[in-house]
Chain A
Amino acid sequence: MLERYALIGLFAFAAITFPILPLVLAFLFRPKKPTRLKQSTYECGIEIQNEAPEAQSIWVQFRVQYYIYAILFVVFDIEVVFVYPWAVATNQMSLFWLLEMAVFILILVGALAYAWRKNLLEWV
């Protein structure tokens, strides 16, 4: 088994080199003429308007909605981790096998239904 992953390791090494190579090539070929205007932050042609200090000028505080999606995602991702071994354990296939996963999934669907009911899934 480790031999297969050794090849994956070789691949990982190649995958890291692969995007660096064109960057180095481009570094050799491209022109370098930076000007003040060119280097300004893209803002549809107007100056950045803000009162905050420079480091925070682009800082946007995001809504908690993103965090709720992320939590939901983590929970369902962990569910997937359990579903995969269950799906390949076909030698155990029986009514019990089926009902067990049904209970597991239904409890989590309960969580989804709760969020839905409380309007947490709404993107406002």
Chain B
Amino acid sequence: MDLFGVISQLVFLLVAVLTLAAGLATVLLRNVFHAALALVGTFFGVAAIYLMLEAEFLAIVQILVYVGAIAVLILFAVMLTRGMMQTEDSNINSQWAWAATAIGVLFVGLFILILQVPWKISGQPVVGDTTPALGTALLTTYLLPFEVVSVLLLATLIGAFIIARE
């Protein structure tokens, strides 16, 4: 393996470990606010992994939308709750064994699935600037999904408004 390969492997390992640590912290921290902040850390890790896959647009959008918007939404939702500072309750309840089994089975299943699927791998390098290509694809091949997205967003908004007004 050449030097570049070694370095990118090392960076990937570092990013993966940090992402997993942040993910674990999200689940295990008792303070909801701290958990939400750990989730922001996970979002960053995912953005870094997108970057290493040379998906530039996706990585920056991940930061713009997830860190900039979704995280804020979650933090606002935390602020709407009452008494989240009471952290005496444990995160683990009596059904943890069942949950652990289910998760273990799911993990093994997914792992086997990922190994079995014949992934399409293109030998060609990534084109320099992917964004215009993305735009073209949105306007031609994926025209219908593109318009459906806006309807979906509209439905989300109206649903959220109705719930918010009670």
Contact = CB atoms under 8 A, between A and B. Distances in A.
Q: Is chain B in direct contact with chain A in the complex (CB below 8 A)?
A: yes
Contacts, number: 141
A5 B61 contact: no
Interface in B122-147: 126, 128, 131-132, 134-136, 138-140, 143, 146-147
Interface of A: 1-2, 5, 9, 55-56, 59, 61-62, 64, 66-68, 70-75, 77-82, 84-92, 96-97, 100, 103-104, 107-108, 110-111, 114-115, 118, 120
Contacts of B69: 70, 73-74, 77-78
B141 to A, nearest CB: 12
B61 A67 contact: no
Contacts of A73: 69, 72-73
B20 interface: no
A2 B54 contact: yes
A92 B73 contact: no
A74 B161 CA distance: 13
21 contacts: A1-B56, A2-B8, A2-B54, A5-B56, A9-B11, A56-B83, A59-B82, A66-B80, A67-B164, A70-B73, A71-B160, A73-B73, A74-B65, A74-B69, A81-B61, A85-B132, A86-B139, A91-B136, A92-B135, A111-B154, A118-B161
Given A71-B156, A73-B69, A104-B150, 18 more contacts: A1-B128, A5-B51, A62-B79, A64-B80, A67-B160, A70-B72, A70-B77, A73-B73, A74-B69, A75-B157, A77-B64, A85-B132, A86-B135, A100-B146, A100-B147, A107-B154, A108-B150, A108-B154
B57 to A, nearest CB: 7
B107 to A, nearest CB: 30
B135 A89 contact: yes
Interface residues of B, number: 49
A72 B146 contact: no
A117 to B, nearest CB: 11
B10 to A, nearest CB: 12
Nearest to A1: B54
A85 B64 contact: no
Contact of A85 (B52, B57, B79, B151): B57
B121 interface: no
A59 B80 contact: no
